[in-house]
Structure 1
């Protein structure tokens, strides 16, 4: 009986797994001796073992049959297309250079993502130049525990087709979520692949709508850069900046799944505090969130916020002026005369400072100048044979007195001087100056103070670790220009992936309104801009519902375009104060009973509201967790979360606890948009009293 395609592919899979297992068995135990050469060989074996272990879990996810041909397309019509099996880790056959699995990051594998169907020539760029040919087959696999559980031919040459099918993508998107972000290596789309494979020597800015995969794209980009620039960049000199520790936990599984380790992951606050050697502590960030999210705020509040001012380039310019003034005072204007006939002129000290230490930062040059003056005195005393203890003691006393007059500042001291006394900046409102000064005096700093403090530290003392080879900044719309400028100083040349969504810029009191506010920090040739408008997270109905919320928003951002994945309509249901909590409980029980959702979230407007919902659901016997501002991890299941802490997370089903007019006004459009776009498959909005005016147009069209 003739074998089916599934049977043939299963046999090939089993053969590949036997080969991989044989290679793993041949590696042997770790080397524990002291021989350097053997230690290096052992590291290479461990790297190979890591790749094989990744391949053993899921050897490959795709197959591309490619027939290479000359650029004119003539080619040998009798040559057989070569099947390329593509996986997370490249694997050669045991004892051979022939590839059993092609690494997804290899140049030839790019066609698996860029090919969109048709019989025209396809190609890729190899180290030896462009390669062209014809794709004969594109096949997707889902492999679990050594079995092919799904096989989809998304292209077969010669068969009628209207472009590469989305069947496999839609199947993967329809899967339920757990409590961790997963890799998308098997379903990377063409526009995502272009970002992943972009040149490293730029600052890439990515505007991506909710669910466009921008975070996973950035993480895959790190894995690609390590592969593409092996030996030139190192994982330990890469850094991911995430909005909070819970988000870091949420994304923690992606890079290990791709076989990548040792990449640093932190928040800007933790990084800045470490840079400052914990000279200050961070004021409770939940207090800032409580101020901005627990009570209604206006546009005037946002525009007048201290966070916007302290994060601005105007504030940076004021600090730069103070740093210039400080540097002008470093070199003494009077001669150093420790003893009669001993004279060190200001001109000589200035030459040392500007010429010998010209590339160093201010305080480093200051400290080296002081050391040079001390060495000069010792040299002069020795050269002139001054042995008298009293004279030497007098000379050293004058040295100490002279050196004390050379200005010396810590970052904290210089920053504090901007807000107090005669050295305070002009035009700073007195309440802001006093609050900042009092906080710094107590050894504490607000989140908005960390960027200027980090910047001053770098300008005074420089970076005391190796520069970053590459930086990823997630949720960058909530970054101030000053934050990005501080990070820019930590690289020799720009190499960043800066991503976010202006439509989710809920921290407007500190963030940006347009991407050019950050892009203008770099030379035009050092930047590139990408826009991801297609949302892969939510169903068409959820995306369309969420887009109504943003109605007349500005900023040049296009609305999300959903993939063709249909589901239940998003609904808005009125309730009253007495029945509100019971309506929440009934919805949760209904969704549990349906058995279709692994992760369910009830999203509240404030922390206080969420606490009330959480207590009610606990009393109802639900296994529920409450997300709070200091929480390090998200555990999945049934979760109650304030809307401002939900950003970046995903849930199978989302219930907006109260979408009433008194909860979400026009100024809260982005906040409600964030909450709604957390849902993959199901979205329901309850509201007490009047429904939010943000849904007026949706209600009109739903009624027609």
Structure 2
């Protein structure tokens, strides 16, 4: 690619003009690439209408991926190499310049004008340093305002006089106000994050990340990288992002499309196991037992409970001959299939073929010469079907779980030695349901049905799964997700300190074992980019009580942010919260008012009475308001420029125990990007101390 002429160092305006010209030329080239795709004529290319439809779908996806997003920088950096990458670094070898961006752009001759950030040649943009310049002469970062290139910043990595320093443009990008859904961090990926993003597809990676360390963004960019590096493989097997709730998925849904990846599916765990309509709820005790990994053993027993030794031989009539397979031989076949530990349904399909084979052996011994067609015909014989039904009856997973939870005697038989009588009582329905449709299934019940379904028939595996907020999953939910990547890899994201369910995991090693990925690498991110220093330090006071083994996070943000803890009289609480929201709204960016579930109706009424419009989580793209009223139970994974936190004691009291309550509070305290105001009328937890009112 031709390099732009280097102007005098004393003429930065001329250099900026040249870079703007390259941006304009690159945008023009991108439009030309899209036009070429739009004008493709496949009328005489496809062999049939099916191929034509598939090809047209791929073309449409490419056209969509080539959209020029006017407010998204086409490139954000430039690398000037000392030598041409990939060639012998002999003295005098010519270097090259590369612009690094969100997607590849080439000119009419096919020469690259922008290099995809995932390409190997782009890696030094994220990894190079003055200690290890990675053959770079210069790394240039670009600053944008509303899509227009307005600034640049150079690092002369090959210059011995150059010292390590924090990039002002990088700092500005990190501290830029958050408005609307989550955006990509492709321009600000740090070396430790890049190592995780570019980890190979062969193994799974677990990321323990403190609030604001970018673990969600790392997971999404890892998907984008793997799709770039292994596109054909993942196109066949598929990719999936699993999030904790719909609000969270809505918040992150624009990240991958902005990187040109449009085919990655998103779902919650509830979506994955949606075999029945969920209309009921469990108390904490029942949900904990149902989510315990021991339930897999109970279900395994229950699925096989109907297998019965044959009471009589199977007699097959073909023409004038009768062929007899004795009961003991069928019993041997059944025992062998059970010992092989294959899926219940697969074994049931194999059983008639095995009985038919026994018949064919007798035919051959009698001098006949049967072939495979005869064996298939015998397997379909009414006598063989009847024998199979009696010995290995079909299993409906939902009906099986219905019986297990509604029949005390059946549950006791299958859970004997696995669950205690008290645990069995906790999960037994008070009123047995008459049918699958009439049952008030809970979310935990749906996971049990999914487990039973997999015992009957193998769940298809995807090529890669990203599991976010993984610390909140039960062992049975881990198993459900693990089934979706049993032959693929996974990226597991979470924070032990933010586990807010009664069954939240205490160690990633245990979680990875349930997921079916034991021994996977566990990487810890502790350097924050989002939460202000004072805020993360304040929230980290809770770590000794909620996750004593974790390293407290630090923050590279230079801005201390606004931070205030204010105590008011109980009768003044609502008014003080509204005042704090009004003050936050004078700043640029989004505002989240986070409160305990029990406080939401009163606060919504107070906001309406004051004429202050507010949104619900997941509606942040609306232009009606910048203020979102967030129940504490939905705050996880979300972020706002300014957070007003209402009555921490109520958040703690809304959870089943103090430890879970403190973890929920830790989550809520770490949602702000620029400022936090805590309003309380009741004493704060002792670990937080009686903090004096402070304003940054």
Between the aligned partners of 1:167 and 1:363, the Cα distance in structure 2 is 61
**2:314–2:383 contact (8 Å) kept in structure 1:** no
Match of 2:219 in 1: 218
Q: Structure 2-normalised TM-score?
A: 0.83
* Residue in structure 2 matching 1:532, options 525, 530, 551: 525
Between the aligned partners of 1:524 and 1:458, the Cα distance in structure 2 is 18
Aligned length: 646
Between the aligned partners of 2:642 and 2:263, the Cα distance in structure 1 is 34
**1:201–1:526 contact (8 Å) kept in structure 2:** no
Q: Look up the SS of the partner of 2:505 in the other structure.
A: coil
Between the aligned partners of 2:469 and 2:123, the Cα distance in structure 1 is 27
Match of 2:463 in 1: 469
Between the aligned partners of 2:409 and 2:337, the Cα distance in structure 1 is 33
Quick check: 1:495 aligned with 2:489? Answer: yes
* Residue in structure 1 matching 2:297, options 317, 320, 327: 317
CA 1:211/1:460 → structure 2, altered by over 3 Å: closer, same or farther?
same
User: How far is 1:109 from its partner?
Assistant: 0.9
Q: C-alpha deviations, 1:494-532, integer Å up to 9, x for none?
A: 40011111111011x132111111123478885111111
Q: Look up the SS of the partner of 1:445 in the other structure.
A: coil
Between the aligned partners of 1:224 and 1:366, the Cα distance in structure 2 is 42
Match of 1:131 in 2: none
**1:19-418 aligned within 5 A:** 19-29=29-39, 31=41, 33=43, 35-36=45-46, 39=52, 46=60, 49-54=63-68, 58-68=73-83, 75-76=90-91, 78-96=92-110, 98-118=111-131, 120=132, 122=134, 134-143=135-144, 147-158=148-159, 160-234=161-235, 237-273=238-274, 278=275, 280-284=276-280, 305-323=285-303, 329=307, 332=310, 334-337=312-315, 341-346=322-327, 349=330, 354=336, 361-370=343-352, 396=382, 400=386, 403-404=389-390, 406-418=392-404
**1:584–1:657 contact (8 Å) kept in structure 2:** yes
* Residue in structure 2 matching 1:601, options 592, 596, 601: 592
Between the aligned partners of 1:188 and 1:71, the Cα distance in structure 2 is 24
Between the aligned partners of 2:399 and 2:102, the Cα distance in structure 1 is 50
Match of 1:658 in 2: 647
Between the aligned partners of 2:601 and 2:93, the Cα distance in structure 1 is 68
**1:51–1:91 contact (8 Å) kept in structure 2:** no
Quick check: 1:548 aligned with 2:541? Answer: yes
* Residue in structure 2 matching 1:485, options 465, 468, 479: 479
Q: C-alpha deviations, 1:165-193, integer Å up to 9, x for none?
A: 23222101221112201111111111111
Between the aligned partners of 1:253 and 1:220, the Cα distance in structure 2 is 12
User: How far is 1:45 from its partner?
Assistant: 5.3
**1:200–1:495 contact (8 Å) kept in structure 2:** yes
**2:204–2:489 contact (8 Å) kept in structure 1:** yes
**1:545–1:698 contact (8 Å) kept in structure 2:** no
Quick check: 1:513 aligned with 2:506? Answer: yes
Q: C-alpha deviations, 1:457-496, integer Å up to 9, x for none?
A: 1111222xx4211111111001122222233233453400
User: How far is 1:604 from its partner?
Assistant: 0.9
Q: Look up the SS of the partner of 1:212 in the other structure.
A: coil
Match of 1:444 in 2: 440
Match of 1:610 in 2: 600
Higher mean C-alpha deviation, range 442-451 or range 155-164:
155-164
Higher mean C-alpha deviation, range 315-324 or range 568-577:
315-324
User: How far is 1:428 from its partner?
Assistant: 3.6
User: How far is 1:236 from its partner?
Assistant: 6.7
Between the aligned partners of 2:433 and 2:322, the Cα distance in structure 1 is 50
**1:565-604 aligned within 5 A:** 565-592=558-585, 594=586, 596-604=587-595
Match of 1:8 in 2: 18
User: How far is 1:547 from its partner?
Assistant: 1.1
CA 1:376/1:654 → structure 2, altered by over 3 Å: closer, same or farther?
same
